[in-house]
């Protein structure tokens, strides 16, 4: 994969996914089943609150995809956390500044990273005030 850098963004898409993949977590259970409790290390914590870019694929999950909200996966749908064997560190929730339409093509999103360790109804990684570009 080629590395692309946006001057305003922290690191490259691939470098950021690599850093986010260093997540450690514990498996636990709640009233709905198995949950993952994240343990963010220093490298991941260093990205918190910063604008980063991630490239990947939109996961068209019902209730989790809308004109200004989507899930991005570092791997295609067949291999993603929800449908394949990837872990929870391979997906991020994205809240966009502007409406977008679904595409099966690879995309790049740039937004401010929030680390979620409290709300099990949301993903561990959340990008806010994001912009999306189809690659």
Kindly state whether residue 88 falls inside one of the protein's structural domains: yes
pTM above 0.85, yes or no: no
Kindly state whether residue 97 falls inside one of the protein's structural domains: yes
Kindly state whether residue 6 falls inside one of the protein's structural domains: no
Select from 24, 80, 79, 18 the least CA-distant residue to 53.
18
Question: Could you read off the pLDDT of 58-95 as tens digits, one per residue?
Answer: 988 777 778 899 999 998 877 777 767 788 889 999 99
Kindly state whether residue 4 falls inside one of the protein's structural domains: no
The CATH code of the domain that includes 130 is 2.40.50.140
The answer to whether the beta carbons of residues 113 and 125 sit under 8 Å apart is yes
Instruction: Read off the tokens for 128.
Output: 């806010």
What percent of the chain is predicted at pLDDT more than 70? 88
**What range defines the domain where residue 59 resides?**
13-134
Kindly state whether residue 19 falls inside one of the protein's structural domains: yes
The count of structural domains within the chain is 1
Kindly state whether residue 1 falls inside one of the protein's structural domains: no
């Amino acid at each position: 994969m080629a590395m692309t850098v946006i001057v305003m963004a922290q690191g490259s898409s691939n470098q950021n996914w690599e850093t986010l993949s260093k997540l450690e977590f514990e498996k636990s259970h709640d009233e709905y089943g198995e949950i993952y409790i994240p343990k963010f290390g220093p490298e991941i914590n260093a990205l918190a609150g910063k604008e980063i870019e991630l490239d990947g694929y939109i996961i068209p999950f019902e209730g989790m995809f809308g004109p200004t909200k989507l899930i991005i996966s570092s791997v295609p749908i067949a291999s993603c956390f929800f449908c394949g064997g990837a872990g929870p560190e391979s997906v991020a929730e994205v809240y966009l500044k502007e409406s977008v339409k679904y595409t099966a093509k690879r995309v790049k999103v740039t937004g401010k990273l929030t680390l979620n360790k409290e709300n099990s109804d949301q993903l561990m990684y959340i990008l806010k005030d994001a912009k999306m570009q189809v690659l």
